[in-house]
Amino acid sequence: MRFLSQIFQPVITIPKGAKIKNTEITCKSQKLLLECGLVRPTSSGLFTILPLARRAITKLENIIHSCLEEVGAQRLSLPCLTSAKLWEQSGRMEDIGPELIKVEDRHGKKYLLAPTHEEAIADLFADVGPLSYKQLPFILYQIGNKYRDEHRPKHGLLRSREFSMLDTYSIHSSNDCATNTYSIMTEAYKKIFRSLDLPVHRVQAPTGEMGGSLSHEWQLPAEAGEDTLAVCASCSHTALANQSNTCEKCGKGTDAVNSIEVGHTFVLGTRYSEPLQANFIAQNSSNMPLHMGCYGIGITRLISASIESLSSDKSIRWPKAIAPYSAIVIGPKEGSKEWLGHGFDKVESIARQIEQNGCHADVIVDDRHALTIGKRLMMADRMGYPYIIVCGRSALETPPRYELYRSAEGGAPQILDIHELLATLHKQNKNKIDVEYSEKCVAK
């Protein structure tokens, strides 16, 4: 159990009625993350991720680990610095040049801070290979920081110079095998976004500078998005917007919706294996170039995009699965009548019981008892904790009853005794487990 007074959360308090002029804040997710003490800018496009946001990212990473391990993916870590020579061999140094952050060591050897690792993976298999076709396929993934010299960083974590990213690479002996893995990874991606309960659309996209034969973007509708989707109200088909405004599936009109790209998947073919000589030994004993696929999710971008999509201008709303804490318990104001009858020891007891009934290590206590319940309730709602439990006037009843607020729903609280409260929270957790189990059965 954690206490809110001990959390490093440098909240920015704006006086009521004050007019704030800050042209650098360009969207609500950036504003909320900054004002709620979740991130701190260090310079243009660079941010310190503070403890509560780091906790949300860790939860997201755990969901991703689980979904990828289920499809047989193996985790590895590649260096952030990649030899510039590899990018020259693949031909991408010229294509993406201005976006690359380049460095040189004391011996004059040139490197770059990698925005992605296709060349590094191809070089790895060139170095250890050639492998036998019998050993393939492999799915390898990592989660780490990537770097891009954005011309104009904006929207906070949505477009920054340093960002956390999942990048997954699949290695195959044939295009058919690569396409089959692409389908498997597509289902894994769908499960990740289902776990977050986010309306992410998978749309066909050009392969662009990455190359390859097939590409899909994963787009989350949001007002601040720089991409545009064409959504058909008639057949629900969704695609990247074009000039026709006509649905390619049913021929009817479409609505334009702003969106944020949170993931991208590719069938790369031999685009990187051929120039970097990453081969395998085929069944006929000949050396053949590996077929590759790659799959990315912007971790920090997805955190920000989900807030952008779900939140109001004044309050954060998280996907429940990645809220920094699932529940917060607010006790009475110190010195009040409620405090004398339901003091801090009883507040701690409530929090412990909630932890023991399905919220293990996921409950925080607002122990700032000098503040009124109303003030702390307002701040908890602004932070978007899914469940807010208040020990107020009803806690003096026999038996004591507690107010349960759900930030995502708003409105009046439920007034519950401890058994009803625990049963309600347990039911919510059980529903989550049942959904996950059902998805696992379907996946199998």
Of residues 233 and 439, which shows the higher confidence score?
Answer: 233
State the chain's mean pLDDT as an integer: 92
Q: How far lies 50's CA from each of 54, 184, 305, in Å?
A: 6, 35, 17
Span 64-74, average pLDDT: 98
Q: Greater confidence, 25 or 18?
A: 25
CA atoms within 13 A on the CB side of 57: 23
Q: What's the confidence (pLDDT) of residue 19?
A: 57
Residue-level pLDDT at 409? 87
Bond prior to 10 in cis (omega within 30° of 0): no
CA distances (Å), 391 to each of 3, 334, 339, 349, in order? 16, 12, 9, 12
CA-to-CA distance for 112 and 127, rounded, in angstroms? 20
On the question of pLDDT at 297 being above 80, the answer is yes
Name the strands in the sheet holding 110-113, side by side, starting at the edge strand that comes first in the sequence: 81-83, 110-113, 101-104
Phi and psi torsions of 403, nearest 5°: -90, 125
Q: What is the pTM of this model?
A: 0.93
Does 22 score more than 80 pLDDT? no
Residue 155: closest CA among 228, 226, 56, 99: 226
All structural domains of the chain, each given as residue ranges with its CATH number in brackets, are 28-220+262-310 (3.30.930.10), 325-442 (3.40.50.800)
Sign of CA dihedral 46, 25, 159, 36: positive
Pull the structure tokens for residue 153.
């960083």
* Most confidently predicted of 150-164, 236-250, 429-443: 150-164
Is residue 55 classed as helix, strand or coil in its secondary structure? helix
What is the reported pLDDT for 433?
40
pLDDT at 124 over 60: yes
Q: How far is CA 124 from CA 39, 135, 422, in A?
A: 35, 15, 52
The predicted pLDDT at position 209 comes to 87
The pLDDT confidence band at residue 16, using thresholds 50, 70 and 90, is: low
Angle at 253 (CA atoms; ends 251, 256), nearest 5 degrees: 130
Q: Tell whether the torsion through CA atoms of 54, 301, 125 and 132 is positive or negative.
A: positive
Q: Which pLDDT score is estimated for 95?
A: 83
- Evaluate whether 417 touches 424 at the Cβ level (below 8 Å): no
Residue 59 has pLDDT above 70, yes or no: yes
Q: Are 125 and 17 in contact (CB under 8 A)?
A: no
Answer yes or no: is pLDDT of 270 > 50: yes
Q: Give the residue among 288, 296, 297, 247 at the shortest CA–CA distance from 269.
A: 288
Structure tokens at 155: 């929207």
Residue 15: pLDDT band (50, 70, 90) is low
Handedness of CA 421, 424, 425, 426 (dihedral sign): positive
Confidence check: pLDDT of 146 > 50 = yes
Within 10 angstroms of residue 168's Cβ, the number of other Cβ atoms is: 25
Q: What percent of the chain has pLDDT over 90?
A: 84
Chain-centroid distance of CA 418 in Å reads 34
User: What is 111-163 written as a DSSP string?
Assistant: EEE-S--HHHHHHHHHHH-PEEGGG--EEEEEEEEEE---SS-BTGGGB-SEE
With 0-12 CB in 10 A as exposed, 13-18 as middle and 19+ as buried, what is 22?
Answer: exposed
